[in-house]
Structure 1
């Protein structure tokens, strides 16, 4: 009996536990089914006619997060087709939050040019950005203080500064081409996204932050930047504090980068140290807020991190896309080289800021790439007061997340014929794909506290946003991208790998969209290629 008992007791325990597991599993399934049924009935029977329609979804909380996360533009246009009769406005569920999308130029105007008393960017982006940039800067401070910080940063974005950057950018590009393993020899292949990411961080750090910061960009510093960049994972809109591996790396990288910038600042504050340059750190060390207070060192470090990421992200993604588009359209690369020879001379002199103003096809290639591949697909705000939607009977309640997508607008056929075709000649008069009327920036200027900027919201082409949060680095990005393009055009011929015609898909897994990697193209150096 003792032996039998030894066998039966564990078996009885197993069956008892199994029964409990079955009950728990069954209860969980029943709860989920009930939640889905109630969620569907709520959508079908209790639609609020005073608010925009809600996109149908099966599972509560998850809502429409998956299709939006996989391809936001595809999701937007699918919803637009269903809800256009309601005024190009609809609401979807994003990780449990009702998010109202307003598309088209009117949607951009409604959200991006709304008064600060009615919409707020800080409450949307603070959780995501504060762990990356730091306390008391960008979205972790009152809007008035942010406007002052943007005014300080504009020191490095004057026309004189931009003019001086062209030589630096071209030299960095040629040095990189000469030293990078992927570009050794006369021909080869290269994975474009990581290659241009490294190049653009070199150019952004050198131009915007000075030679001292650039000199620290070795392999370890680049890894810190990469780890910090992981903080922009979409899950961090909801769980920025979660002890996830990428968040731990983010926090460690932030701390280390703050220490590096603080070390530079503290060294410069030592007695007897004289200013030997006019870089951004020196500028911020001399700046004071309107109340007379100097900028604390940790805020300078935070602004430098934000400046570096802003100067690198959009340019990295855009230049990667441009290289991939040129590999898919190699004849355009030859046309660009011919433009340089016709305008600048057959000997291809060193590129200057003035030269860039005389290369319209180069400018058009940059513009077209930004149109089709907007670096940021969604721009969000939080409604802080009820907002009636013009042309509809709807009102957006206070507390609702609002979403504009200028990148979707620039893919609409009513503004850009054949919108999914990358056509650098589209911007020329007489092109069948030329933008329709109204596709240029408006001239209305407004000062939000950091200098006059174009409101711009009447244009369907807004790759750098609009309103008070329009990117102040817009002109820098154009200069950086055109200079890099000019160097690559006179150095390389690109083409796709055999059987790999067409560009890769878009990776929307971060706040900043980019090409999926690997995205490999063939390159060949031009005969008698001339660098800077």
Structure 2
């Protein structure tokens, strides 16, 4: 071997050994003895390789070996997982000054834009959240329901008398239409719908796993994302400017952001209005479309299996789908075809069917924070650990919702487990975290439930559905937001009586 090549090889090996040594010292030897146990992985790259195998797989593996609180080294960072309701309360209760979203979600800045949400300090973000809270006040919500119902009636009215559809794709389209009407405004819904829907899809496709670590890396999805963001800015600049000049009132979230004022009297810029809308759209669109789809799939799957005698207790009681249909019949008998805010709120059977679908299949696998100060965690077995400052803190709705010591037969779809009298989710705080919880609970939770109730109320009143095959599709774990694989159902038009 030539001396120069031997020298280069020796230097490379020395650098690698030095990196490994620093990694071991940093992630293990310098960790205080009171810190959570560290997952045993290969130095430097082991944590990243574990992630490539899927977050749920790695959580399952290290939860079994390390317990409810453990730390995974990922490149130069440390991610400490808090699994289950006993380990995670501080995650949900802590203020931004202790556990912050900003540092771990800054990869959203290219998509949302500058000066909003994760590109501002805690105080400014709190004011921006206040703007959104204004958009969800009682009277506004009642007007949104009217829009939701109108969109759903028109959408399902365009279906034929019978056929086969991909439920995931159909409900995703419907949720986009509803979001355009309620959030983005009638200008988008009536004039720019197709163009804006395409550009938002490009933003969506521009958020890939690499984006979390390198949001500006020069890859094609990022290039298309940035181009779409610029085109959206051109469209909304004209819409926002026209609304400012006309100073007219509209019952949509866009209107709230256009006229919102900070405590010092300043307003959002046109581009920041767009950024806020994109943030709200991303927060709600996937949750609503995915949860709508799972609600239908799981109701149909459990109904068909129970009728065929596949499920335990088959034939002994009404299926969950039958309970939902009976509820619709009672509502129709009392209110006719009318669907209002109050009527949708009264639908408990449908509500718990939606919530159970969200328990089993929350769209977000992980929620993240950054620790600005050390804090203590006590697990269900009484062990207490001190999580050091600087760790990224993670909890997983998808994994925690399937813990058998929290939910009885957790892998079984059983909406009755959430009803008063059972309320398995209420026995230990933060057992159900489908909409987050505590200080950062999702403000759009009520909006999402109303939207999904409106969709399924209208669908079930006008169609019979049948799942093709005995089983609902598996969850597609390859995406940043987790939904079902293609989900075909057969429909036949009829009027529920």
Could you tell me the TM-score, scaled by structure 1's length?
A: 0.81
* 1:358, distance to aligned residue in structure 2 (A): 2.4
Give the aligned partner of residue 502 of structure 1.
471
Give the aligned partner of residue 5 of structure 1.
none
Residue 374 (1) aligns with residue 362 (2) = yes
Pick one of 310, 317, 320 that aligns with 2:290: 317
Pick one of 103, 121, 124 that aligns with 1:123: 103
Bigger mean CA deviation after superposition, 113-122 or 138-147: 113-122
Post-superposition CA distance 1:495-529 (Å, at most 9, x none) = 2324xx3222223334322223xx23222224236
Q: Secondary structure at the match of 2:97?
A: coil
Alignment partners' CA distance in 2, 1:92 and 1:45: 10
* 1:307, distance to aligned residue in structure 2 (A): 1.7
Give the aligned partner of residue 412 of structure 1.
403
Q: Map of 1:65-464 to 2, 5 A cutoff?
A: 65-84=48-67, 88-126=68-106, 128-179=107-158, 183=159, 185-270=160-245, 273-330=246-303, 331-345=319-333, 348-390=336-378, 392=383, 394-428=385-419, 435=424, 438=427, 458-464=429-435
Bigger mean CA deviation after superposition, 60-69 or 469-478: 60-69
Alignment partners' CA distance in 1, 2:346 and 2:257: 34
Question: Are residues 525 and 398 of structure 1, via their aligned partners in 2, closer, same or farther at CA, if it must alter by over 3 Å?
Answer: same
Pick one of 18, 29, 38 that aligns with 1:54: 38
Q: Secondary structure at the match of 2:274?
A: helix
Say whether the 8 Å CA contact 1:50–1:394 is kept in structure 2: yes
Larger Rg: 1
Unaligned runs of 5+ in 2: 304-318
Q: Secondary structure at the match of 1:56?
A: coil
* 1:419, distance to aligned residue in structure 2 (A): 0.6
Say whether the 8 Å CA contact 1:187–1:522 is kept in structure 2: no
Question: Are residues 509 and 143 of structure 1, via their aligned partners in 2, closer, same or farther at CA, if it must alter by over 3 Å?
Answer: farther
Alignment partners' CA distance in 2, 1:198 and 1:387: 44
Alignment partners' CA distance in 1, 2:333 and 2:343: 11
Alignment partners' CA distance in 2, 1:502 and 1:253: 38
* 1:317, distance to aligned residue in structure 2 (A): 1.4
Residue 525 (1) aligns with residue 496 (2) = no
* 1:124, distance to aligned residue in structure 2 (A): 0.9
Give the aligned partner of residue 512 of structure 1.
481
Q: Secondary structure at the match of 2:214?
A: coil
* 1:234, distance to aligned residue in structure 2 (A): 2.2
Alignment partners' CA distance in 1, 2:289 and 2:18: 43
Aligned length in residues? 478
* 1:474, distance to aligned residue in structure 2 (A): 1.1
* 1:199, distance to aligned residue in structure 2 (A): 1.0
Alignment partners' CA distance in 1, 2:19 and 2:75: 15
Give the aligned partner of residue 444 of structure 1.
none
* 1:313, distance to aligned residue in structure 2 (A): 1.7
* 1:99, distance to aligned residue in structure 2 (A): 0.3
Bigger mean CA deviation after superposition, 116-125 or 243-252: 116-125
Considering only aligned residues, what root-mean-square deviation do their CA atoms show, in Å?
3.2
Bigger mean CA deviation after superposition, 396-405 or 67-76: 67-76
Q: Map of 1:479-494 to 2, 5 A cutoff?
A: 479-494=450-465
Alignment partners' CA distance in 2, 1:278 and 1:37: 58
Post-superposition CA distance 1:102-148 (Å, at most 9, x none) = 1122332122212322222101111x111010001001001111111
Say whether the 8 Å CA contact 1:495–1:521 is kept in structure 2: no
* 1:242, distance to aligned residue in structure 2 (A): 0.7
Q: Secondary structure at the match of 1:165?
A: helix
Bigger mean CA deviation after superposition, 39-48 or 232-241: 39-48
* 1:417, distance to aligned residue in structure 2 (A): 0.3
Question: Are residues 399 and 46 of structure 1, via their aligned partners in 2, closer, same or farther at CA, if it must alter by over 3 Å?
Answer: closer
Say whether the 8 Å CA contact 1:47–1:53 is kept in structure 2: no
Give the aligned partner of residue 3 of structure 1.
none
* 1:429, distance to aligned residue in structure 2 (A): 5.3
Could you tell me the TM-score, scaled by structure 2's length?
A: 0.87
* 1:466, distance to aligned residue in structure 2 (A): 2.0
Alignment partners' CA distance in 1, 2:24 and 2:272: 50
Say whether the 8 Å CA contact 1:108–1:406 is kept in structure 2: no
Question: Are residues 262 and 400 of structure 1, via their aligned partners in 2, closer, same or farther at CA, if it must alter by over 3 Å?
Answer: same
Say whether the 8 Å CA contact 1:386–1:396 is kept in structure 2: yes
Question: Are residues 282 and 506 of structure 1, via their aligned partners in 2, closer, same or farther at CA, if it must alter by over 3 Å?
Answer: same
Give the aligned partner of residue 447 of structure 1.
none
Q: Map of 1:34-49 to 2, 5 A cutoff?
A: 46=29, 48=31, 49=33
Bigger mean CA deviation after superposition, 129-138 or 408-417: 408-417
